[in-house]
Amino acid sequence: MEKNDLKVNTAGLQDNKTIAIIAYLTWIGLLVAFIINKDKQDPFVKFHIRQNLGLFVIGILSGLLNFIPSVGAMISYVVFAILFVLWIIGLLGAFSGKTNPIPVVGPMFQDWFKGI
């Protein structure tokens, strides 16, 4: 029986990693991961949902910078490049099964969206 329990726990961990990875795949993936995890309330998945939600919100706000003539577009491109790197770091964390916050802004995202 113990071997079966171990397999269930491993399968459950793999399932949670899959949901966390889905959270990083566009805003639709974020929404799907949120809905799937609504009943489970898995802390690992919630962590990665909060991380990508923060990146998504910052991305929306930086997109608004495009409306500022000349300087806004340049700042927006720099912010998007930084967000892409942070997104890769978060996605790699979900792949590896770790809950390391994204550098600089990750702890803030965990605080801002702690209700999720």
Give the C-alpha separation, 92 to 86, whole Å.
10
Which has more confidence, 10 or 87? 87
Most confident of 9-13, 68-72, 78-82: 78-82
Nearest to 104 by CA among 54, 47, 69: 54
Give the C-alpha separation, 86 to 39, whole Å.
28
What sign results for the dihedral spanned by CA atoms 10, 16, 20, 22? Answer: positive
pLDDT tens digits along 6-63:
333 445 567 889 999 999 998 899 999 989 988 888 899 999 999 999 999 999 999 8
Task: State phi, psi for 15 to the nearest 5 degrees.
Answer: -60, -45
| Mean pLDDT, residues 81-109 | 92
- Mean pLDDT score of the chain: 85
